[in-house]
Amino acid sequence: MNQNLYQIAADLQKREERFAICTIISAQGSTPRHVGSKMLLGENGEFFGTVGGGELEHRVLDEARLAIEDGIPRKLSYSMTDPERGDPGVCGGQLEVFVEPYVPAPKIIIIGGGHVGKAVAHLAKWLGFRVAISDDRPEYCTPEMNPDADEFFPVEMAELPQHVAINRQTYLVLTTRGTATDIPGLPVLLGTRAAYIGIIGSKRRWLTTVEGLKKQGVSEDAIARIHSPMGLELNAETPEEIAVSIMAEIMMLRNRTTGKPMQLKP
């Protein structure tokens, strides 16, 4: 059973999905499962293996869901004696379960491999993100043009989800040429679970993009997912300064903070 769980875990890692492995690390007295018994919960709610079934397993699954969300391991202790006082069983024993979440490193997919895209790739890599470059111009989507990228997808924007998993650990940064690229490509990206979708450019460009998306039937709720113009207000001008502005916004959102000056922090 454990061997199957390891294979499932490897497959989920390859697909860059979150999951948690729950392992009984201590058992005394009469318990439904022995030390080393494992259960794996995927972020889609599907689970494999068992740590005992019943109310005990229900509680462990609840904790595993929380661990998948916050990325924090947990050691859970249970007494299996008296349900009236809240115990999850009547076996008479005690056990401990260790819940270990797997959260893949966040990935930046930069769509548009020009000067700004190259600067964002360099900074994102330095900050610990996995980095991918996508551009429908193959000459901009190479290790020579963008040496800091880990993956390259020389495809049209609308085709990108066919080539790479886009999930809650994925941040899409559009440093594209203009609305002619953005408008036909964005509807497909808005159908993904990307944690962030940002578009470079002026407010005028953004208004043109919004108009074009609405003509294609994209809802206002979907459009509201997009950050544009993306980045924090730093009066940035150079590609490197713009990259700092973009990554600052992504870090702010990812860390669920405000972006205010530290001197204003309580």
Together in a domain, 59 and 111? no
Together in a domain, 222 and 243? yes
Q: Tell me if 266 is assigned to some domain.
A: no
Together in a domain, 46 and 120? no
Measured at the alpha carbon of residue 81, what is the angle toward residues 76 and 82, in degrees to the nearest 5? 105
Q: Tell me if 47 is assigned to some domain.
A: yes
Q: What is the pLDDT of residue 14?
A: 86
Q: What is the CATH number of the domain that holds 137?
A: 3.40.50.720
Q: Are the CB atoms for 41 and 30 separated by under 8 Å? A: no
Q: Residue 208, Cβ neighbours under 10 Å: how many?
A: 17
Domain boundaries, position 245: 107-260
Q: Tell me if 265 is assigned to some domain.
A: no
Together in a domain, 125 and 253? yes
Together in a domain, 28 and 111? no
Together in a domain, 94 and 119? no
Together in a domain, 75 and 119? no
| Structural domain ending residue among the three candidates 102, 131, 156 | 102
Together in a domain, 113 and 227? yes
Q: What is the pLDDT of residue 226?
A: 96
Q: Tell me if 7 is assigned to some domain.
A: yes
Is the pLDDT reported for residue 119 higher than 70?
yes
Q: Tell me if 157 is assigned to some domain.
A: yes
Together in a domain, 113 and 236? yes
**pLDDT tens digit string along 239-258?**
999 999 999 999 999 988 98
Together in a domain, 10 and 127? no
Query: What is the rounded average pLDDT for all residues in the chain?
Result: 90
Together in a domain, 179 and 238? yes
| Structural domain ending residue among the three candidates 102, 126, 147 | 102
Task: Provide the number of structural domains found in the chain.
Answer: 2
Q: Tell me if 25 is assigned to some domain.
A: yes
Is the pLDDT reported for residue 87 higher than 60?
no
Q: What is the pTM of this model?
A: 0.79
Q: What is the pLDDT of residue 16?
A: 83
| Structural domain ending residue among the three candidates 102, 124, 148 | 102
Together in a domain, 168 and 116? yes
Q: Tell me if 29 is assigned to some domain.
A: yes
**pLDDT tens digit string along 177-212?**
899 999 999 999 999 999 999 999 999 999 999 999
- HEC secondary structure over the chain: CHHHHHHHHHHHHHCCCCEEEEEEEEEECCCCCCCCCEEEEECCCCEEECCCCHHHHHHHHHHHHHHHHHCCCEEEEEECCCHHHCCCCCCCCEEEEEEEEECCCCEEEEECCCHHHHHHHHHHHHCCCEEEEECCCHHHCCCCCCCCCCEEECCCHHHHHHCCCCCCCEEEEECCCCHHHHHHHHHHHHCCCCCEEEECCCHHHHHHHHHHHHHCCCCHHHHCCEECCCCCCCCCCCHHHHHHHHHHHHHHHHCCCCCCCHHHCC
